[in-house]
């Protein structure tokens, strides 16, 4: 086990609730600047806790979920193959998932929603990765014809068994919400704390919502979908209050990555429209890029009486930190392999000098393409080198590499060290005056 661990020692360890959306953009919430989508329940998490405006994660589904549930950058994890439809890979037994660690620490664990970390073998599925229960889909909701040419059925799982096929995607958010509420009611007030992970399939394309929510948002169908998620969050916060466990429950909300703006042609059929997507607000890029619009997402953390209400922080925080922090809060044992997360507990609970994270590696398609150190971000792709100061230029409009060659050199060396640690190459470049 890792030494130097700082854990909360309490006779009453906190419950843990993670709410994780799919492809929701940085600018899709009222509190992050959307002018017409209304998200009072999600925004309430920031009013009663902390809003994180510089939270970063993986640039697409699998890396972001790997970081959240293992505390490690994806290249450190040997999946042995793909994890979408027809993929034969999955999380190996050598990884200690967040659910496994909390389960071993005495937590009851449950999940609803999208998995996407392996399904072909039962050992890859959530019930064999630390979750006592699971209702959901094994991967993204577009892994079905005509968007993906596969014969694999997209079905609903209960435990390790597919129990429903085909599925009505309109009802997914409602069903996941009901599952979360049931789990919380059943496991509140007992002698064990609980951990529940709700991984929404929405607003990943093709977007769906129930009839009762259609036309309710002035932002069109996409707005209806986001406001359905907001309703879901409200329902879950309400049941925490009803069960008397809200005060001692850590609630973390984030998206897995930015919106899917640069759509492949395969997705623009069967009812999908280019405007059925979110917004990155002022940020550049989108899903599957290493610009901030692909990796910086809206995030909140609430823990009454431990995290002061009404805070906003632009300190750098990343999804591996959530893994490490929740294990510390739950007095769980840490794995004896390399973790990429930091314990945020002292910072969240009042030691506000600075977040313990000072750097972040942006890995895309098994290549280290960018790295942030402090406010500076170096990005290399193709024949361009770009240096941005994310404090003064979060939209990454102004390439400052030509004016800071020494900083570029230092950051390149840091990238090489990180790439060596991860076992991946650094993206190549041939100039220092590429596009801005």
CB 154 within 8 A of CB 201: no
Q: Is 61 a catalytic residue?
A: yes
CB-CB contact of 100 with 129 (8 Å): yes
What DSSP element (H or E) covers 313?
strand 311-313
SS3 385: strand
Is 217 strand, coil or helix?
A: coil
Whole-angstrom CA distances from 204 to 36, 49, 277, 287 are 20, 27, 8, 11
Q: What does the alpha-carbon distance between residue 92 and residue 69 come to, in Å, rounded to a whole number?
A: 13
Contacts of 409 (CB under 8 A, 6+ apart): none
Q: Count other C-beta atoms under 10 Å from residue 329's C-beta.
A: 24
Q: Let me know: does 230 contact 40? Beta carbons within 8 Å.
A: yes
CB 90 within 8 A of CB 118: yes
Q: Which two tokens stand for residue 51?
A: 């809003």
Sign of torsion, CA 268 145 230 252? negative
CB of 125 closer than 8 Å to CB of 160: yes
Catalytic one among 61, 187, 306, 342?
A: 61
Helices (H) and strands (E) in the chain, counts: 9, 16
Q: Please tell me whether residue 179 adopts helix, strand or coil conformation.
A: helix
- Beta-carbon contacts of residue 57 (< 8 Å; ≥ 6 apart): 63, 64, 67, 68, 254, 255, 256, 257, 295, 297, 318, 319
- What is the C-alpha to C-alpha distance for residues 228 and 41, in angstroms, rounded to an integer? 11
- For 212, phi then psi, to 5°, come to -65, -20
Please tell me which residue in 116, 204, 208, 306 is annotated as part of the active site: 116
Nearest alpha-carbon partner for 158 in 89, 91, 112, 109: 112
**Are 209 and 225 contacting, i.e. CB atoms less than 8 angstroms apart?**
yes
Beta strands in 96-184 (DSSP E): 108-113, 133-136, 156-158, 161-164
Enumerate the active-site residues: 61, 116
């Amino acid at each position: 086990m890792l030494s130097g661990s700082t854990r909360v020692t309490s006779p009453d360890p906190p419950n843990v609730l993670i709410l994780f959306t799919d492809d929701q953009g940085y600018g899709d919430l009222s509190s992050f600047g959307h002018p017409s989508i209304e998200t009072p329940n999600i925004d309430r998490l920031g009013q009663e806790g902390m809003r994180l405006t510089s939270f970063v994660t993986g640039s697409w589904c699998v890396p972001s979920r790997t970081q959240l549930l293992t505390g490690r950058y994806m290249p450190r994890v040997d999946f042995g193959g793909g994890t979408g439809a027809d993929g034969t890979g999955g999380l190996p037994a050598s990884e200690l998932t967040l659910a496994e660690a909390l389960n071993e620490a005495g937590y009851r664990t449950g999940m609803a929603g999208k998995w996407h970390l392996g399904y072909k073998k039962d050992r890859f599925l959530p019930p064999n990765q630390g979750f006592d229960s699971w209702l959901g889909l094994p991967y993204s909701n577009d892994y079905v014809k005509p968007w993906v040419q596969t014969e694999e059925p997209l079905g609903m799982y209960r435990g390790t068994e597919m129990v429903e096929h085909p599925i009505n995607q309109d009802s997914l958010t409602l069903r996941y919400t009901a599952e979360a509420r049931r789990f919380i009611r059943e496991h509140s007030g007992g002698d064990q704390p609980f951990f529940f992970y709700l991984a929404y399939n929405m607003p990943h394309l093709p977007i769906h919502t129930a009839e009762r929510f259609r036309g309710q948002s002035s932002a069109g169908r996409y707005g209806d979908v986001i406001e359905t998620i907001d309703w879901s969050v409200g329902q879950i916060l309400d049941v925490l209050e009803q069960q008397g466990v809200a005060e001692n429950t850590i609630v973390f909300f984030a998206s897995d990555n930015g919106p899917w703006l640069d759509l492949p042609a395969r997705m623009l059929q069967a009812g999908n429209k280019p405007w059925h997507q979110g917004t990155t607000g002022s940020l550049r890029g989108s899903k599957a890029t290493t610009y901030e619009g692909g990796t910086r997402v809206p995030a909140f953390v609430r823990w009454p009486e431990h995290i002061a209400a009404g805070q906003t922080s632009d300190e750098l925080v990343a999804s591996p930190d959530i893994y490490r922090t929740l294990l510390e809060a739950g007095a769980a044992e840490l794995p004896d392999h390399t973790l990429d997360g930091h314990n945020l507990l002292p910072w969240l609970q009042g030691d506000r000098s600075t977040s313990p994270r000072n750097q972040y590696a942006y890995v895309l398609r098994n290549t280290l393409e960018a790295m942030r150190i402090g406010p500076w971000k170096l990005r290399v792709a193709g024949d361009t080198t770009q240096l941005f100061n994310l404090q003064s230029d979060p939209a990454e409009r102004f390439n400052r590499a030509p004016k800071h060659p020494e900083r570029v050199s230092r950051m390149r060396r840091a990238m090489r060290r990180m790439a060596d640690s991860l076992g991946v190459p650094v993206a190549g470049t041939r100039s220092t005056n590429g596009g801005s």
